[in-house]
Amino acid sequence: MTVALMWEARAVEGRGAELLEWARAQAEVLAGEPVRREILRAPQDRVLVMTWWDAEYDAELPELPEPEAGLITRAVHRWRFESVDGA
């Protein structure tokens, strides 16, 4: 089974590049190596990190932590999905 973890945060105005670099660094030092990793950005200084794992849906998997409070405008949003189609 493939499980996808999504982590999304919104930076304080003007600190989007800093949040992006922070997320890149954190994604590189996860406790395990995902099958796939992708980092995206969007308007309003939002950053999204997606990781795919060969694991059961409820498996304990490494996730990105919360950034320092002064870097983000709200708590990080996290979602977990399981693959239902495809390879």
Confidence at residue 87, expressed as pLDDT on a 0 to 100 scale? 55
Residue 86: per-residue pLDDT: 62
pTM of the model: 0.90
CA-nearest of 85, 81, 65 to 6 is: 81
Structure tokens at 17: 């590049």
Which pLDDT value is given to residue 32?
87
pLDDT tens sequence for the chain (87 residues):
899 999 999 999 999 999 999 999 999 999 889 999 999 999 999 999 999 999 999 999 999 999 998 999 999 999 999 988 765
| Domain 2-58+67-82 indexed as CATH 3.30.70.100 | yes
Distances, alpha carbon 80 to alpha carbons 2, 13, 17, 57, in Å? 11, 27, 25, 8
Domain ranges of the chain: 2-58+67-82
Q: What is the pLDDT of residue 85?
A: 76
At residue 10, the pLDDT reads 97
Strand (E) positions, 11-68? 36-42, 46-54
Residue with tokens 């996730």: 63
